Structure 1
Amino acid sequence: MKKTSFSGVYFQDKKRGKALYTRSLVPGVQVYGEQLVMDKGIEYREWLPYKSKLAAAILKGVSCTGMAKGDCVLYLGCSTGTTVSHVSDIVGEKGWVVGVDSAPRVMRDFVFFAEERRNVIPLLADANHPEKYPQGLPVFDCVYQDIAQRNQTEIFVKNLGRVKKGGYGLLCVKSRSIDVTAEPRRIYEGVRHELAAQL
């Protein structure tokens, strides 16, 4: 197993290309059917890029994830916990991942997922209103957003207020949720301009 330039992310060269891994925080447990690999007595979980936008971004050459061991990450749009599980591996036992979702049914399943990961906190809340999050949440090192809403850029900017000075934000832009008729490239350019104007 080889280290990447990203904290807590490893890789192996395979015939199909580079395969990513994170060191398993909960050995022996699969989250979404991923392969478990032992190397020098340590268990790693394969991080599948077609199941996780963050893994795909790393393989596509993103410069930084903003996540490291011991960090606190605000994860907006936690869904079933696929990517959250790898972020949980990355930040480790001394880090935290607060997974936010507004759908009760999704959160119910996420709560069961979080029972096996002591560094994951489920939060049923509307990311549109971070001011209504419960008191006692930490100042975050990074916010990661994967939400399919028309005003997703606005939501992202609002939640950046929860991030410490010098922290990071990662936004997965779902162009079809913003405007189903526009070309995705134009949507991405619009989001870039909007972020530049507000940050």
Structure 2
Amino acid sequence: MSDELPAGVERRQFDGEERLATRGEPVYGEPTNEGWRAWNPNRSKLGAMLELGMETGLAGGDDEMVLYLGAASGTTVSHVADVAGPTYAVEFAPRPARDLLEAADSRPRLFPLLADARKPERYAHVVECDVDAIVQDVATRGQARVALENARFLADDGRLVLAVKARSEDVTREPGDVFADVRDELSEGYEVLEYRRLDDYHADHLGIVARPR
């Protein structure tokens, strides 16, 4: 475990409580304090991973390029775009994508893409460069396969930061068995560096950090 946070992510006081925070316009009704916005780990798997001390490999900084899969309405990806460089946000559902567009209005480095993360060829013409990190939070069957299909965008020394939702894979199986299968499938193209259950914040979820083989 590590207490090291990406550049631009700090622990700040909100109503007497120390919480993770980034600088930027609020997106989901989160508390703010002098330009800082609290990062709610109960609404963000990446936020939970950082709270739990996982070494995500995210550095922060204007030079860090990120591909975010499953951006939804922008809760987590807005925090990422607050601290990183160009951040490509892939979301398939039109309704949350509209909210994502609003989150991007005040973030010139956040680029929403209405696309299916299972079909990376649909946005390969936009995400042309090797990204430093892929952050994935896609609630669909075949989450490992999504990560493998998108590995084409990841730099050789990049990181995959993956939140696996067991119930999206198979509601009838034990989450631990689902997680083991996901890690095994990921090994086709990634080396898993760390994994941890996120149940303190998100039931039946696993956080995984991996690098390309």
**Alignment deviations for residues 43-97 of structure 1 (CA, whole Å, 9 cap, x no partner):** 2111111111111111112112424112111011110101011101111xxx111
Matched, 1:80 2:73: yes
Q: Hey, what's the Cα distance between the residues in 2 that align with 1:65 and 1:83? A: 16
- Secondary structure in 2 aligned to 1:105? helix
- Secondary structure in 2 aligned to 1:173? strand
The 8 Å contact of residues 96 and 121 in structure 1, kept in 2 or not, is answered as yes
Aligned counterpart, 1:159: 150
The 8 Å contact of residues 73 and 98 in structure 2, kept in 1 or not, is answered as no
Deviation at 1:109, TM superposition (A): 2.5
Q: Hey, what's the Cα distance between the residues in 2 that align with 1:180 and 1:113? A: 32
- Secondary structure in 1 aligned to 2:139? coil
Residue in structure 2 matching 1:106, options 90, 96, 101: 96
Letter in 1 for 2:23: R
Aligned counterpart, 2:169: 178
Matched, 1:33 2:29: yes
Letter in 1 for 2:171: V
TM, length-normalised to structure 1: 0.85
The 8 Å contact of residues 9 and 21 in structure 1, kept in 2 or not, is answered as yes
Deviation at 1:111, TM superposition (A): 1.6
The 8 Å contact of residues 153 and 191 in structure 1, kept in 2 or not, is answered as yes
Number of equivalences: 186
Aligned counterpart, 1:21: 21
- Secondary structure in 1 aligned to 2:187? helix
Letter in 2 for 1:81: G
Q: Hey, what's the Cα distance between the residues in 2 that align with 1:139 and 1:149? A: 25
Structure 1 stretches lacking a partner, 5+ long: none
Matched, 1:133 2:123: yes
Q: Hey, what's the Cα distance between the residues in 1 that align with 2:13 and 2:99? A: 34
Structure 2 stretches lacking a partner, 5+ long: 191-213
Q: Hey, what's the Cα distance between the residues in 2 that align with 1:136 and 1:36? A: 33
Letter in 1 for 2:11: F
**Alignment deviations for residues 165-198 of structure 1 (CA, whole Å, 9 cap, x no partner):** 1011111101001010111111111111221243
- Secondary structure in 1 aligned to 2:66? strand
The percentage of aligned residue pairs carrying the same residue is 38
Residue in structure 2 matching 1:61, options 53, 61, 85: 53
More displaced 10-residue stretch of structure 1: 48-57 or 14-23: 14-23
RMSD: 2.1
TM, length-normalised to structure 2: 0.80
The 8 Å contact of residues 14 and 32 in structure 2, kept in 1 or not, is answered as no
Letter in 2 for 1:50: N
